[in-house]
Amino acid sequence: MAEEAADGSPLWWKIQALVNDSDQLLVKKLSRNDTSWADDRGMHQAGLYIPTELRQSGFFPPLEATNSEKPHIFVAGLDVLWPQTGEVTRSNLRHYSNKGAETHLTRLPRPLFRELTPASLFLAGRLVRPVGSCRWWAVILDSAGEEAELLETVLDLGVDFHHAIFAADRFAAAHRADQDELERLIEQFRSAIRNGTLHELAATYSLIPDPATIATQARNEWLQANGRESFDPWQISTPGDAIMKISREIEYQLYRAHELKRRASELLTILVGGADLASTVVRRYPDIDAVLLSASQQRKTRAGRSFEHHIAAALTAGNVRFQEQAVTGGRRPDFVLPDLATLRQKKRERSAALVLAAKTTLRERWKQVSSEQLNCDVYLATVDDRVTAASIREMAGLGIRLVVPEMLKNSDEAFYKGQESVLSFREFFDRAIRDERPALVEQIPR
């Protein structure tokens, strides 16, 4: 659901307007320490940690040692507009030179930092011309909200993103590198409209390659870029990171290119040839809405299947015995190791089989896994960096162990670090398969 600014306008519209009046943007993925102070007044830290490269980027005003009794403390004051609340804060950037790089942005609106979903985003802009006393503005984008997803798309924030300074014109010039290809596609559609061959062109773009084909293409691109011939998880130091990179970045970009051609051709087929644009849009809005809804639904379905395809590819390349989408007890676990026949054996040892479910995002859907009482360990693989500590504990209490990419397991922005019930993909392959269940591997890796 879209968030509103304090003046009642959509927050994303407000952000776009402020970006247009700015020259630089600062984006930081929030760590647990960046937000926990808002929920616990007893915490010493009461602000946002600013990494050295951001402090030295020129985005903030110059730091000065203003207290002669404490010359090691450098401070810069700045008036910040917060469109979500409509308030202006006199915030401080504080650098404690006796503590190394430690710098914090303090005096912030506490309510905006409360109860945030892990891996939420801090977005700030530096205005070209001050608005009143304000030269800066800032928003907090909950990672579960639409605005965070929009920002990630517009600025092309990768899976390994932590913080960066961007030129404000990146919003208007998003994906500028693709402009030549887009112009070619536009001219292709223009030519088809002039020649009366739009329906024929639309037919050539009507079928998007099936998920397995796009997944294979994305995986091959990753293999080529990394100088590898096989997706063998025993040979890849961080297999989870590779799976996340391929499914959430490389494959997504390939899919969007196909999607653009198909959906653009469908919309043009609806709009071209009407009496006038206004009446065509109004009268055929149900058809337009159906195209957009279909695109949204197909995108979500593709994401889940993509993740499963790459896990299956890793298991296959690693010679791990598994059966995919086996029906048991009215449910369909994503992966049963080694197979359904073993899982159904009544006198087997508990460790002789395991179930591995895969969900790109969890929310409440992990509860679909918890009800599978299968007399075996249940693992749930995900690339979701927004899972709360409470959900992790609840899953652990139900015997569900999470499997996440290595960078998420070690991230200060997610809640996986230090959780015994959370394994990285590296630990899953080494511990849960090779060490604890060597019979699952046809040839034990060294």
The 10s digit of each residue's pLDDT in 280-328 is: 888 889 999 998 888 887 776 676 688 899 999 999 999 999 998 765 5
Question: Kind and range of the H or E element at 138?
Answer: strand 134-141
pLDDT confidence tier of residue 368, bands split at 50, 70 and 90: low
Nearest to 36 by CA among 28, 44, 24: 44
Sign of CA dihedral 185, 190, 196, 198: positive
Identify which of 356, 366, 375 has the alpha carbon closest to the alpha carbon of residue 433: 356
What 3-state class would DSSP assign to 258? helix
Q: How many CB atoms lie within 10 A of CB 283?
A: 11
Per-residue confidence (pLDDT) for residue 371, from 0 to 100? 46
Decide which of 28 and 68 is more confident. Answer: 28
Tell me the torsion sign for CA atoms 44, 50, 56, 59.
negative
Structure tokens at 71: 């010359």
Window from 16-20, 158-162, 245-249, 359-363 with minimum mean pLDDT: 359-363
> Is this model's pTM higher than 0.75 or not?
yes
